Amino acid sequence: MSLFLGPIHYIVFDKIHLNEEITKTIVETSEQSCDLNRFAPAIEEGDLKELIGDSMIHPWLAERVTRSELRQIGAIEDCLSPELDQKITDAIYNIGKRVGNTLEKEQTLTEAFNRVRFHTLDGMPCDNGLIFLENTETSIIWELNLDLHRPYMKNDKTEILFLDIRYAFVKGLLENSIYKLERLDRNRYRLYND
């Protein structure tokens, strides 16, 4: 194992499990038969320190990020029709809302943005999954780095569905925020004071 497990490692592991919950919800809500294990092995449950054992933490987590991505993209491609069903959008939104309701009320835009950053899986922290385009006192604009997700996708339709699922989750996550969320285009968002 790496010298020590830091808070960031636990955050990444939690993000992987949350992504897995979203993936399983896609399958269950779509009512399609979809064996996620054919895309990648399931993500282990349990104490992170025990699961890692003697392995190096970064490669161990990076492999789980990849597995989680493969499982989610596989579920999107196999279980979803050409259009995202409102039932699935609502289910994903409700996961975000449930998670958001467990968090302390944010006081700053940065704290609100961190809700998104700490609960969405976009590669490893060093991969720059969310790219700041603007960060002022009144708004934060960021872009989701799609280069981290595209290698797992077969076509543009998968990308559109993936981004719609992401938006539903983030909307739910920020529903009770004192800040407003705006989707500027497929993969750009703005968080701002109303």
Domain spans in the chain, listed from the N-terminal domain onward: 7-192
Assess whether pLDDT exceeds 70 at residue 2: no
Confidence band, pLDDT 50/70/90 cuts, at residue 61: very high
pTM of the complete model = 0.93
Long-range contacts, 9-13 (Cβ 8 Å, 24+)? 9/48, 9/57, 9/61, 10/48, 11/118, 11/125, 12/61, 12/65, 12/124, 12/125, 13/48, 13/61, 13/64
- Kindly report, residue by residue over 115-171, the tens digit of the pLDDT: 999 999 998 888 888 999 999 999 999 999 888 888 888 888 899 999 999 999 999
